Amino acid sequence: QVTLKESGPGILQPSQTLSLTCSFSGFSLSTSGICVSWIRQPSGKGLEWLATICWEDSKGYNPSLKNRLTISKDTSNNQAFLKITSVDTVDTAIYYCAQGIGYWGQGVMVTVSS
């Protein structure tokens, strides 16, 4: 059974760095073909793909945010991470992690506010 759960700081101030963790079970990020992505959704708005990391450590980033994003993984502990630098209020959103396209976590709310 595949499960994913996101965790984050809840609230942070503008200009800080947002660090998110995706803890998962039911699969391994060392298995060929497996990738984990981060997607976000501002309240009442649409979905935005942010980044993907795959089993062989290839990475992809949303071009509009690439300079601010860093995705990484800890295969031994079944975790994936996303860092977003220099956050602003527009980064306020629910952040989801997903394995492939079919398995999503419940999401974590992140608020950027001074």
Partner 1 sequence: IQLTQSPSLLSASVGDRVTLSCKGSQNINNYLAWYQQKLGEAPKLLIYNTNSLQTGIPSRFSGSGSGTDYTLTISSLQPEDVATYFCYQYNNGNTFGAGTKLELK
Nearer to partner 1 among residue 13 and residue 63 (C-beta): 63
Radius of gyration of the chain (CA): 13
**Token reading at 80:** 């994936």
Nearer to partner 1 among residue 46 and residue 76 (C-beta): 46
Strand partners, 6: 22
Minimum Å gap between C-beta 30 and partner 1 is 22
Question: If you search the block for the tokens 């980044």, which residue do you land on?
Answer: 51
Is 46 a binding residue for partner 1 by CB under 8 A? The answer is yes
Q: Which stretch binds partner 1 (CB under 8 A): 14-22, 24-32, 84-92, 99-107?
A: 99-107
Angle formed at CA 68 by CA 93 and CA 70, multiple of 5 degrees: 90
Which residue from 58, 4, 2 is spatially nearest to 32, judged by alpha carbons? 58
Is 52 a binding residue for partner 1 by CB under 8 A? The answer is yes
Is 99 a binding residue for partner 1 by CB under 8 A? The answer is no
Q: How far is CA 99 from CA 4, 5, 22, 75, in A?
A: 8, 11, 10, 14
Is 33 a binding residue for partner 1 by CB under 8 A? The answer is no
Minimum Å gap between C-beta 108 and partner 1 is 11
Interacting residue ranges for partner 1, rule: CB under 8 A: 37, 39, 46-49, 52, 60, 62-63, 96, 101-102, 104-107
